[in-house]
Chains A and B, each alone.
Chain A
Amino acid sequence: IAGITQAPTSQILAAGRRMTLRCTQDMRHNAMYWYRQDLGLGLRLIHYSNTAGTTGKGEVPDGYSVSRANTDDFPLTLASAVPSQTSVYFCASSDSAGGEQYFGPGTRLTVT
């Protein structure tokens, strides 16, 4: 059982380019989340989804979009990357909204 996988592991991206970070879970969890981790700020919620077909905005949603077409996948898209989006991105899932979250290994993104 893989749990949660994220791809790519790391990426260097030119400013203005479009990028999709992938997240897949095999635990059939209903809820999924995207966070970014920045030094001194901890993890901040970008977007979440309580169940397939629904999404919601987190604490720092600007510049990001998500979709939840099925239970397993929750991609995060940066339509036009900016240097302030340089961060480590973590995807997480939980069996239900509010349950303990299982995190993926993260994607380190550098926007130049």
Chain B
Amino acid sequence: ETGVTQSPTHLIKTRGQQVTLRCSSQSGHNTVSWYQQALGQGPQFIFQYYREEENGRGNFPPRFSGLQFPNYSSELNVNALELDDSALYLCASSPPGTGRTGELFFGEGSRLTVL
């Protein structure tokens, strides 16, 4: 069984640019969440997608946006990059039936560096 896969694994951008990060959810999982993990910190919730719609959002500005596709894969888009956006971006998928327990299955992340 393939787990959550993310691409690219590393990338470097400059301030003001835009970035798209991709995530394939684990087989059978229908919910995708995105988290930002700054160096030395715990992950922070960005948003969650279910049935191709955002249905939960953390304290992140609108320049962070996302998509979920019919095959449950997802994208995270960040516009007008700032230096503080440098972080590890983690995608997590969840199987049906975990809406109460909230279990997350994480990918290995995409490390974004903004210069």
- Whether chain B is bound by chain A comes out as no
